Amino acid sequence: MKLSSRLSAIDSFICAPYDVIWDCCCDHGLLGMALLKRAAAKQINFVDIVPTLMDELEHTLTRFSDQQAACQWQVLCQDVATIELQPSAKQLIIIAGVGGELLLRLVQKMVANCPEKLREQLSFIVCPVHHTYTLRQGLQALGLGLIKEQLVQENNRFYEVVQLSFTSNTALSVTGNQLWDNAEQMHELYLQQLVAHYTRMLNRDRTYFQHVLDDYQKISLD
C-alpha cells in the first residue's frame, strides 16, 4: 500500500543505517512495513497499545515474512513509554499520529529510563498532530538537538516532521528555524493558521499564549 504524504516524509528522513527502529503508535504498521521492505534496520519493532490492531498487524507480517527476510521484526502490544531499549545498539524511535503533549510525555519517560551512554546511540523522529510548540519546548529541555525538519500537508491538515538526537549540535527552535520556505504557499497558510489559533487562545491564558504568538509573528516569509 502506498504511504501517505506524512509517512513518506518520515520514511525519506531515514537514510543512515540503524540496528533497531521502533515504529511507535504504529496503527496499521504501514511505515514499519515499508522500512522492512527496504531493510532500513537490522530489526523493526512495531509498538501500539491497541490489541486488535497489533493482532491484525502480526498476522499480516507473518503472511509476508518470507518477503521480509532481510531483517527481523517484532510486534509489541504495550505502552510506548515502557519499551526496553537495546544496549549498545544504534536506535531510532518514531512517534507519529498523537498529540504533542502526549508525545512529549512518552519521550520524557523513555529518556528517563535510558542510560546516559545509550543516549548517544539514540535518535527520534516525531510528528505530532497538534501542540507542536509545547512539544518543541519539552524536547529542548531534554537536550535534544535538531537533525532535520519538514512541513507536510495532508488532507487539508499540516504536520511538522522533526528528526532529533542527543549528539546534534544544531539547536531545536520552538517555532522551527529550518521548517519554513517562503517559496511554498502552504507554509504561509500554516503560519496564518498558527497565528489565528494562538490569537484565539489569548482568552485562556494571555501571559503564556502572548509569548507563543509573539514567537510565531517573528517568522518572516517575505
Q: What is the pLDDT of residues 74-100, one digit of tens each?
A: 999 999 999 999 988 999 999 999 999
Domain shared by 151 and 209, yes or no: no
Domain shared by 98 and 119, yes or no: yes
Distance of CA 8 to the CA centre of its chain: 13
pLDDT above 90 covers what percent of the chain?
88
Domain shared by 94 and 194, yes or no: no
pLDDT above 70 covers what percent of the chain?
97
Provide the domain count of the chain: 2
Asked if residue 87 lies in contact with residue 58, where contact means CB atoms within 8 angstroms, the answer is no
Distance of alpha carbon 63 from alpha carbon 56, whole angstroms: 11
- AA identity, residue 142: L
Distance of alpha carbon 186 from alpha carbon 179, whole angstroms: 12
Domain span at 88: 5-173
- AA identity, residue 140: Q
Domain shared by 140 and 38, yes or no: yes
**C-alpha dist (Å) from residue 193 to 57, 116, 196, 198, 199:** 36, 39, 5, 9, 10
| CA nearest to 71, candidates 34, 122, 105 | 34
Domain shared by 198 and 107, yes or no: no
Asked if residue 27 lies in contact with residue 53, where contact means CB atoms within 8 angstroms, the answer is yes
Domain shared by 139 and 60, yes or no: yes
Distance of alpha carbon 171 from alpha carbon 139, whole angstroms: 10
Residue 29 carries which DSSP code? Answer: -
Distance of alpha carbon 124 from alpha carbon 211, whole angstroms: 27
Distance of alpha carbon 37 from alpha carbon 28, whole angstroms: 15
Domain shared by 166 and 127, yes or no: yes
* Domain end point (choices 136, 151, 173): 173
Task: Determine the average pLDDT of the residues in 63-80.
Answer: 81
Domain shared by 92 and 28, yes or no: yes
Contacts 24+ apart (CB under 8 A), 192-196: 193/158
pLDDT at 65 over 90: no
Domain shared by 78 and 165, yes or no: yes
At residue 183, the pLDDT reads 84
Span 136-170, pLDDT tens digits = 999 999 999 999 999 999 999 999 999 999 999 99
pLDDT at 68 over 60: no
At residue 165, the pLDDT reads 98
pLDDT at 70 over 80: no
Average of per-residue pLDDT values in the chain: 94
Report the CATH number at residue 67: 3.40.50.150
Domain shared by 127 and 205, yes or no: no
Using CB atoms within 10 A of its CB, is residue 38 exposed (0-12), middle (13-18) or buried (19+)? exposed
Domain shared by 121 and 194, yes or no: no
Domain shared by 195 and 115, yes or no: no
- 188 pLDDT band (50/70/90 cuts)? very high
